[in-house]
Amino acid sequence: MRGELDEVKRPLLIAHVSADLQLLCQTCLTEMTFQIDHDFTLCVVPDEEQAEQITEYDAVIADDEELSVLPLFEDELILSLPVVAHHAPGECAVAESLLREDDEIEASEKPNPFSVLASLKKSSK
Ligand SMILES: [Zn+2]
């Protein structure tokens, strides 16, 4: 985590958060490790009014001298969590069997290219 000033001399907090979290895969309901590797930039402003003017960054209001950093990290961690946790494709047993079923359905629904050719032949005669 470091502090910087941007082009218009606004104080920025540039930080990186990384964590391994144990989440429950919502497809197969077994535990999975979710890796968070998240960079974020916050602009430190003294009040709400200035916070509303910050569009390039997320604003954080520091109305007293000290800014507690830990809640900021917690917020960013929560933001980078998936809404619903799932295994990565290929790592989840349940998802894989579902995918295979989907493939089979798709294949049987696709028209056979040769049947299209056959109907073209018929209509040209
Ligand atoms: Zn799973």
Question: Across residues 71-90, what is the average pLDDT?
Answer: 86
What is the chain's mean pLDDT, rounded? Answer: 81
Q: Which pLDDT belongs to residue 51?
A: 92
Task: Please tell me the distance between residue 110's alpha carbon and the centre of ligand 1 in angstroms.
Answer: 29
CA of 104 to the centre of ligand 1 (A): 21
What are phi and psi for residue 78, nearest 5 degrees?
-65, -40
Give the C-alpha separation, 14 to 89, whole Å.
32
Mean pLDDT of the region 64-76: 81
Structure tokens at 56: 């390039």
| Tens digit of each residue's pLDDT (9 = 90 or more) over 36-45 | 898 999 999 9
User: Span 80-103, mean pLDDT?
Assistant: 74
Q: What are phi and psi of 81, to 5 degrees?
A: -75, 145
Split at pLDDT 50, 70, 90, the class of 78 is: confident
pTM of the prediction? 0.58
Give the integer Cα–Cα distance in Å for 45 and 23: 34
Ligand 1 centroid distance, CA of 32 (Å): 7
Q: Is the pLDDT confidence value at 24 over 90?
A: yes
Within 10 A of 80 (CB to CB), how many other CB atoms are there?
16
pLDDT over 90 at 112, yes or no: no
Terminal alpha carbon distance of the chain: 75
90 C-alpha to ligand 1 centroid (Å): 9
The CA 87 to ligand 1 mean position distance, Å, reads 5
In the predicted model, is pLDDT for residue 124 greater than 80? no
Give me ligand 1 centre to Cα 30, in Å: 6
Residue 71: CB partners within 8 Å, gap ≥ 6? Answer: none
Residue type for position 34: F
CA of 74 to the centre of ligand 1 (A): 25
* Radius of gyration from C-alpha coordinates of the chain: 26
Rounded-to-integer distance, Cα 36 and Cα 23, Å? 12
Q: Residue 97: is its pLDDT beyond 80?
A: no
pLDDT of residue 4: 93
Tokens standing for residue 76: 């960013």
- State the pLDDT confidence band at 70, using cuts at 50, 70 and 90: confident
Find the 52 Cα to ligand 1 centroid distance in Å: 41
